[in-house]
């Protein structure tokens, strides 16, 4: 049984916990800002001492504060996994030493088993530790090992991405409401259409443009909508949205302490 300890137990940590196989993991947490949760709370010292796998689920700006509170306990044999945006393996090694450390960028659809988790290990992570971590992440959804230099753009696309899709979904549903469709039904229609389109992108072995062509009939409704998109700045807006998130991840990697 692997002892899994969460440092910080906010929304993302709770989503990961909810999917963890409780026959494989015994879980506890440390979070002074969350006095009560559904799993045992420990002091920072107790959590570090008792955990084999330690998940850092705090804000990136809180790393220095955490390190100042870190007790003088050996981390030999332990595996630290960080979900901190923009915080590099080198920065984590400076904080915790040359031990097994992994960066993971999951997203909140982990709560329903549909997360996209990109990860990268340092050289100290053992095969057994990799297997244990994957047993957790695979329960949360899809996984992809990537080079560390891609983590910031992945943070922008899939880490922050759900919020961008929710914003688009709300705008579409609001449009439906303006045409006498109740908002709740419009959300169901929009969400299922997003799910279906996502499966097509993953499984149909076609490019986005080919899939667009498949939906479009001459002088049809799709073409009418696409013509508006073609004459609008939507592509630049979407690119600017991703670039803003990406640049913020870069700032965090440089130690920018302003709130996200």
pLDDT, tens digit, 9 for 90 and up, residues 9-32: 999 999 999 999 999 999 999 998
Phi, psi of 123 (to 5 degrees): -75, -10
The architecture in CATH of the region 2-151 reads 3-Layer(aba) Sandwich (3.40)
Span 200-204, average pLDDT: 97
Pull the structure tokens for residue 179: 């045409």
pLDDT at 254 over 90: no
Query: 3-state secondary structure string, the chain?
Result: CEEEEEECCCHHHHHHHHHCCCCCEEEEEECCCCCCCCCCECCHHHHHHHCCEEEECCCHHHHHHHHHHCCCCCCCCCEEEECCCCCCHHHHHHHHCCCEEEEEECCHHHHHCCEEEEEEECCCCCHHHHHHHHHHHHHHEEEEECCHHHHHHHHHHHHCHHHHHHHHHHHHHHHHHHCCCCHHHHHHHHHHHHHHHHHHHHHCCCCHHHHHHHHCCCCCHHHHHHHHHHCCCHHHHHHHHHHHHHHHHHHHHCCCCCCC
240-255 burial: b if 16+ Cβ within 10 Å, else e: ebeeebbebbebbbee
138-181 tens-digit pLDDT: 999 999 999 999 999 999 999 999 999 999 999 999 999 999 99
Which value, in Å, is the radius of gyration of the alpha carbons in the chain?
A: 21
CA dihedral 183, 184, 185, 186 (to 10 degrees): 50
Span 55-66, average pLDDT: 92
The β-bridge relationship of strands 2-7 and 25-30 is parallel
Pull the structure tokens for residue 204: 């149909």
Please report, for the chain, the start and end positions of each structural domain, with discontinuous segments joined by +. Answer: 2-151, 161-252
Span 63-83, average pLDDT: 93
pLDDT at 258 over 50: no
Collect all residues with Cβ–Cβ distance below 8 Å to 186 and sequence separation of at least 6: 172, 173, 174, 175, 176, 177
pLDDT at 34: 80
CA dihedral 114, 33, 73, 130 (to 10 degrees): 0
The yes or no reply on domain 161-252 and CATH 1.10.40.30 is no
Q: Are 169 and 115 in contact (CB under 8 A)?
A: no
pLDDT at 33: 85
The β-bridge relationship of strands 100-105 and 79-82 is parallel
pLDDT at 260 over 60: no
pLDDT at 257 over 80: no
pLDDT at 256: 57
Helix axes 208-215, 183-203, angle to 10 degrees: 130
């Amino acid at each position: 049984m692997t002892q899994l300890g969460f440092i910080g137990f906010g929304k993302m940590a709770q989503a990961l916990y909810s999917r963890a196989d409780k026959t494989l993991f015994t879980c506890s947490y440390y979070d002074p800002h969350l006095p009560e949760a559904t799993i045992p709370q420990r002091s920072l010292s107790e959590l570090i001492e008792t955990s084999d796998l330690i998940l850092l689920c705090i804000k990136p700006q809180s790393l220095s504060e955490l390190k100042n509170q870190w007790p003088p306990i050996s981390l030999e044999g332990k595996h630290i996994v960080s979900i901190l945006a923009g915080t590099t393996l080198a920065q984590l090694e400076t904080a915790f030493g040359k031990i097994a450390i992994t960066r993971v960028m999951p997203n909140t659809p982990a709560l329903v088993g549909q997360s996209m988790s990109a990860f990268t290990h340092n050289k100290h992570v053992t095969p057994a530790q990799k297997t244990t971590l994957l047993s957790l992440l695979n329960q949360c959804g899809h996984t992809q090992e990537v080079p560390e230099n891609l983590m910031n753009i992945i943070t922008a696309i899939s880490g922050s991405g759900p919020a961008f899709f929710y914003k688009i979904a709300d705008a579409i549903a609001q449009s439906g409401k303006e045409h006498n469709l109740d908002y709740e039904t419009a959300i169901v229609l929009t969400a299922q259409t997003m799910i279906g389109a996502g499966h097509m992108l993953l499984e149909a072995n076609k490019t986005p443009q080919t899939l667009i062509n498949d939906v479009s009939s001459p002088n049809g409704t799709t073409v009418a909508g696409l013509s508006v998109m073609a004459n609008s700045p939507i592509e630049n807006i979407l690119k600017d949205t991703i670039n803003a998130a990406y640049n913020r991840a870069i700032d965090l990697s440089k130690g920018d302490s302003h709130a996200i």
